[in-house]
Structures are given as structure tokens and as C-alpha cells.
Amino acid sequence: MKLRLLTWDVKDTLVRLQCSVGEQYSAVAKSFGIQLDPKVLENSFHKAYRTQSKLFPNYGLDKGLGSQQWWADVVKQTFRHCGINEDCALSSIAEHLYRDYSMMKNWEVLPGVQETLYQCRQLGLRLAVISNFDRRLNQVLEHCKLGHHFEFILTSEMAGVAKPDVRIFQKALFMAKVMPQHSAHIGDNYINDYLGARDAGMQSYLIQQDGYHDSYERHVPKKHILQSPCHVLTILERA
């Protein structure tokens, strides 16, 4: 059946971080006179992130937090795990990092993405984003010169629910006024992207990550696994 709508995940599908979280946190902390090993910060961040995600999923919206406060708490806990407890400095670091991660300098567009999105539009496909990112995503995509490719950008913060919840996919389909059987989603996460979209009745394809393939290869047909975003064009040509 002919596709009309192609939705995309963003982080590690279309763009990726220029450097590790630990390196970025360390660099910003240094500007405030705090010296910490990037690897130590990286480990501390993942611990803080897991805890915050479990206690307050989807940016704590149902608890009245929102993404800026949610991330500020993650940053502060990251540094507190490393023995830094200066509240004023931590608040400034958190604010600085929240702003920094909306800027182009921290992101790079993956190879072939610009041309792939352009070619998809040339084929008559409508493009949109479904992402568990926060409200800064519009800025990120504009700074990366990708925003103009998409009819709309739907984040989990905007939708009030996060992938793999089918409601975020259903909201995107409603916004596009497209039936699920005429749509497909592309992302790098087996549960959030591949299964979430399929549970909503959409087609879906999985961007293969190095070292991640073995965990899902038994469950995903090879024809649904893409080596990179560029390979979606091959799928579309066969459709």
C-alpha cells in the first residue's frame, strides 16, 4: 500500500551528539571552576538519568515539572554523585547545559540525512518527527538545518505521552490526517520506535546500531533493518 507519511525519530537516527555527555558536562563545569573527570561524570549521569526517568517519566509532566526543571534535577544529581554540592554553581551549570543542548555546536547531522530527507520529499512523501525529546527539539532541528523538511515535530513533552505508547503515534496520525496503513516510522530503538509504531498499525523500520543488532535480530525481519537513514530510499523504491 502506498506510503503517504514518513515519521522519524531524531537522536541517533538523524543527528547525534558531537561529544559524550561526560565530556560536555566536564567542559561546562570547568568554566565554573569545577574539575571532574569526564568518565566519572558520564557514569554519574547515567545513574542520575535512570533514577529520574523511573521516578518522573516523560519529564515529570504529570507532577508539574516540565523538561527544564527535569533536566536541572538530572544535572544536579549527576554532580552530587561526584561530591559537588554547591547549589548556586549547580543551578548555573544546569541552566548553561540546558541552553547548550539546543545549539548546533553540540550536534552533528548524520551522513546522508539531508539528501535522504530531500529525496523523500521529492518522491511526494510527507515527513514528520515523533520523538521522546523535549521542547528544545524544534530549535535543535532548525540549528541543524533540518526543520524545513518536516510538516510538524511532535515531542513527548508536547504530546503528554512518550514512545512506545501508541497514543503519541496516534496523535501524529491525527495531526497528519493519515491512516496508519499509509504511514511508516523510522528510528533506532527496537521498543520505542519499531514496536511502538507497529502497535499503532504503522509500518516501521529500524536503524541498526553498532553492537545492538544481536538483541533484536531474531524479532525483526532483515528487510525492516536499515544500515543508515539513506537506505530508506531503497525501501521506498521497492514499495
CATH code of the domain in which 136 resides: 3.40.50.1000
Radius of gyration of the chain (CA): 19
The pTM for the full model equals 0.93
CATH code of the domain in which 27 resides: 1.10.150.720
Higher pLDDT, 58 or 227: 58
Any idea what DSSP says for residue 164? T
CB-count burial class (<10 Å; 0-12, 13-18, 19+) for 74: buried
| Residue that finishes a domain, picked among 105, 136, 162 | 105
Q: Same structural domain for residues 113 and 176?
A: yes
Q: Same structural domain for residues 168 and 221?
A: yes
Q: Give me the percent of the chain exceeding a pLDDT of 90.
A: 87
Q: Same structural domain for residues 90 and 111?
A: no
Q: Same structural domain for residues 97 and 125?
A: no
Distance separating the N- and C-terminal Cα atoms of the chain: 8
| Residue that finishes a domain, picked among 73, 105, 137 | 105
Q: Which helix (H) or strand (E) holds 172?
A: helix 166-176
Q: Same structural domain for residues 226 and 166?
A: yes
Q: Does pLDDT of 148 surpass 70?
A: yes
Coil, helix or strand for 53?
Answer: helix
Q: Please, which residues have CB within 8 angstroms of residue 234's CB and are 6 or more apart in sequence?
A: none
Q: Same structural domain for residues 203 and 97?
A: no
Positive or negative, the CA dihedral 113, 147, 236, 197 is: positive
Q: Structural domain tally of the chain?
A: 2
Q: Which amino acid is present at 97?
A: L
Q: Same structural domain for residues 146 and 131?
A: yes
| Residue that finishes a domain, picked among 105, 121, 147 | 105
Q: What is the mean pLDDT of residues 16-40?
A: 97
Q: Which helix (H) or strand (E) holds 197?
A: helix 196-199
Q: How confident is the model at residue 217 (pLDDT cuts 50, 70, 90)?
A: low
Q: Same structural domain for residues 70 and 116?
A: no
Q: Same structural domain for residues 66 and 180?
A: no
Taking only the tens place, the pLDDT of each residue in 45-104 is 999 999 999 999 999 999 999 999 999 999 999 999 999 999 999 999 999 999 999 998
Q: Same structural domain for residues 44 and 121?
A: no
- pLDDT at residue 215, rounded to an integer: 66
Q: Same structural domain for residues 179 and 156?
A: yes
Residue ranges making up the domain that contains 116: 5-16+107-238
Q: Same structural domain for residues 207 and 91?
A: no
